[in-house]
Chains A and B, each alone.
Chain A
Amino acid sequence: MILEGRVWKYAQQVRATDLVPARYDFIKLTDWTECSTHVLEDLDPDFRANVRLGDLIVGGHGFGAGHAHYFQQAFEGPRWIGVGGYLAESFDPIFLLSAIGAGMPCWNVPGILDFVKGADEITCDLTTGTVVNHSAGTTAQYRPVASEVIDVLEAGGLDKLTVQRLGLSAKV
């Protein structure tokens, strides 16, 4: 499972409601097009106009924390505009499992804040734990992501993996 993209780095804790502010509570509407126009609106007003397909958001400790009511919009909104994944020093564990379950790549990479800076181009192989910083010309080795997680991400989320495991023929 390989992520390739440009880094948007926020050294602080990026909470779920930083990714999409709580005032855009789309949990009932699931209008991801509208939701996606508000990604990082408060934390980084430049983000929305400049984000590119595959860009990666890198954050500090406790990424995604906050009330779980706001989790879904915090990975569906960014994903809708092509954000390729989240890497952080550590994640809120419930947010992490929810995002992975939805097929949004993300994982704890302790030390990542020191290894990348904003706008670096990186390649992150979650399966092997190798991260290459093309902008800096450096490579770092982290703990590989468990196969249980890779299985979910490669299937495109838990629902799709579950369908495979139940032996049902895929729809959509």
Chain B
Amino acid sequence: MQMTMTQKILSAASGREVIPGDVINAPVSGVAIHDSAPLGIFDTYPEARVWDPSKIVICYDHFSRVNMALYHQRFRAFAREQSIPPENVFAPGRHGISHQVPGEEGFVLPGTIYAVFDTQGATLGALNCFAFTTLWTTPSVMALGTALVVVPEVVHVELTGQLPQGLTSKDLTFHLHAQLGEDLTGRVLEFHGPGVASLSVDQRLGVANAANNLGAFTMIFPGDDILAEYLRPKVTDPYEFVAPDPGATYAATATINLDEVPPLVSGPHNIEKIRALDDVIGLPVGAAYVGSCSAGRLDDLMLAASVLEGRTIDASVRFVVTPISTEVMREANDRGIIATLVAAGAMVTPPGCGACYSGNLSPLLLGDGERCIATSVSNAPGRMGSKSAEIYLSNPAVVAASALEGRIADPRPYLSRTKKASQ
């Protein structure tokens, strides 16, 4: 049988050739949970054991403003009780988002199945693996080492060209949403084509992150030299990239010319309300945010810094930047990016999910009637605070330019003297 990447990964794991619609208990290579994940049966049955302690990763990322101390102690205790190695517990000082850190730290290998409690678990599909969210079934996955999967259909997306300067995964995912619509629902997007090489791993992670918002099951990027380079310092175990067979069957195919992706904005109140940036230019904003698992990576911080360098944000705006992980913060610090952001007037917080979700500790928390421009995951009413606040989602360059002007702004004039920052 000629197989897609999805079929190859799920077939190899389950020991039989699978087709869409088949149901399997798929062996996973690892599970990542975060600091407000449910422990389910492990709470009820202290004698229950995780199937392989070395494969569990615990990331402190949400920092619940209601019960952070309680949760953090709880997961330290869980790790001790389950003999999860201390180095797998990414507590403050080493912490970061639960679907970023396992990739950074070499826990995720191409060709494997990786389970994440968080809704955005598909993010790690950028690493040529089948990554997905297992939500409240995660305690069962940790206990059995398998996840229930209905083998999904696959959409073949051919990427050509290169994103224009200042555009990122954020614009690309909005463009995918607008172009593919219902074709995405419930399916896996597998990317191919010469355009893939123009996207850094940071950008690929940002694209795959949007699977849940697009209604897709997950996304898988192919393996290439860029991914191999990303994995080299992190991964010691041998791995092989997965590629589809030439005659594999797809539910739909599409070609996206990255050259033609326009700057896009989503919102307010609805992720599907996608518009040209030009349509919202000039709307006053009082809050701006660069961060989250969608766009808090080094590429994103670098792009924001390139807009802000030598400039000062408008006094009417509170601009918060939250790096996705300690590793990204360290790198951004070493490269002077943090200094540029702070000099411009941004408040840089400790790493994590930050302002993306109103339940987290963040100085950005939106009040009644505020309008915010953000790189984060969702713009549902109440997502970042007050239900009456408006959230517009865009790429980090747009957020930074808007922070400079106190209104939604086009970053291109600010970028004209810098090199392409998103590459």
Chain A residues in the interface with B (C-beta under 8 A): 22-23, 25, 28, 61-62, 65-69, 71-72, 90-94, 96-98, 100-102, 143, 146, 148-149, 152, 158-159, 161-163, 165-166, 168, 171-172
B386 adjacent to chain A (CB < 8 Å) = no
CA distance A121 to B49 in the complex (A): 44
CA distance A65 to B193 in the complex (A): 29
B213 adjacent to chain A (CB < 8 Å) = yes
CA distance A75 to B23 in the complex (A): 21
- On whether A148 and B186 interact (CB within 8 A), knowing A22-B380, A168-B45, A171-B45, the answer reads no
Enumerate chain A residues within 8 angstroms of B135, measured Cβ to Cβ. 68, 71-72, 94, 97-98, 101
B48 adjacent to chain A (CB < 8 Å) = yes
CA distance A71 to B119 in the complex (A): 10
Most chain B beta-carbon contacts within 10 A, residue among A143, A146, A162, A165: A162
Q: Which of A23, A67, A162 contacts B144 (CB 8 A)?
A: A162
Enumerate chain B residues within 8 angstroms of A172, measured Cβ to Cβ. 44
Enumerate chain B residues within 8 angstroms of A69, measured Cβ to Cβ. 119, 378, 380
B263 CB, nearest partner CB in chain A, Å: 24
CA distance A69 to B25 in the complex (A): 24
Closest to A171 in B: B44
Q: Which of B132, B185, B381 contacts A65 (CB 8 A)?
A: B185
Given contacts A97-B149, A98-B136, A101-B137, 5 further A-B contacts (CB under 8 A): A68-B212, A69-B119, A92-B185, A158-B140, A166-B45
- On whether A90 and B186 interact (CB within 8 A), knowing A101-B140, A162-B139, the answer reads yes
Chain B, 120-139, CB within 8 A of any chain A CB? 132-137, 139
Enumerate chain B residues within 8 angstroms of A148, measured Cβ to Cβ. 23-25, 148
29 A-B pairs, CB-CB below 8 angstroms? Answer: A22-B380, A62-B185, A62-B215, A65-B215, A67-B271, A67-B380, A69-B119, A69-B380, A71-B135, A72-B136, A90-B185, A92-B215, A93-B217, A94-B135, A97-B134, A97-B137, A97-B149, A98-B136, A101-B136, A101-B137, A102-B136, A149-B23, A159-B44, A162-B140, A163-B45, A163-B48, A166-B143, A168-B45, A172-B44
Q: Is the CB of A159 within 8 A of B40?
A: yes
Most chain B beta-carbon contacts within 10 A, residue among A67, A163, A168: A67
Chain B residues in the interface with A (C-beta under 8 A): 21-25, 40-41, 44-45, 47-49, 66, 119, 132-137, 139-140, 143-144, 148-150, 152, 182, 185-186, 212-213, 215, 217, 271, 359, 378, 380-382, 387
A70 CB, nearest partner CB in chain B, Å: 8
Q: Is the CB of A100 within 8 A of B148?
A: yes
B329 CB, nearest partner CB in chain A, Å: 26
Most chain B beta-carbon contacts within 10 A, residue among A91, A93, A102, A168: A93
Enumerate chain B residues within 8 angstroms of A93, measured Cβ to Cβ. 150, 152, 186, 217
Enumerate chain A residues within 8 angstroms of B150, measured Cβ to Cβ. 93, 96-97
- On whether A94 and B212 interact (CB within 8 A), knowing A61-B185, A71-B135, A148-B24, the answer reads yes
Most chain A beta-carbon contacts within 10 A, residue among B137, B143, B359, B387: B137
B3 CB, nearest partner CB in chain A, Å: 19
Q: Is the CB of A28 within 8 A of B359?
A: yes
Q: Is the CB of B133 within 8 A of A22?
A: no
Q: Is the CB of B41 within 8 A of A162?
A: yes
Enumerate chain B residues within 8 angstroms of A158, measured Cβ to Cβ. 137, 140, 148
Closest to A94 in B: B133
Closest to A168 in B: B45
Enumerate chain B residues within 8 angstroms of A102, measured Cβ to Cβ. 136
Q: Is the CB of B23 within 8 A of A159?
A: no
Closest to A143 in B: B21
**Which 6 A-B pairs rank lowest in CB-CB distance, beginning with the nearest?**
A146-B23, A101-B137, A68-B119, A158-B140, A162-B140, A148-B23
- On whether A146 and B22 interact (CB within 8 A), knowing A23-B381, A23-B387, A159-B41, the answer reads yes
CA distance A92 to B153 in the complex (A): 12
Q: Is the CB of A68 within 8 A of B133?
A: yes
Q: Is the CB of A149 within 8 A of B359?
A: no
A125 CB, nearest partner CB in chain B, Å: 17
B46 CB, nearest partner CB in chain A, Å: 10
A68 CB, nearest partner CB in chain B, Å: 4
Enumerate chain B residues within 8 angstroms of A66, measured Cβ to Cβ. 215
Q: Is the CB of A94 within 8 A of B40?
A: no
Closest to B24 in A: A148
B37 CB, nearest partner CB in chain A, Å: 13
Enumerate chain A residues within 8 angstroms of B186, measured Cβ to Cβ. 62, 90-93
Enumerate chain A residues within 8 angstroms of B41, measured Cβ to Cβ. 159, 162-163
CA distance A124 to B68 in the complex (A): 45
Enumerate chain B residues within 8 angstroms of A168, measured Cβ to Cβ. 45, 47-48
Enumerate chain A residues within 8 angstroms of B47, measured Cβ to Cβ. 168
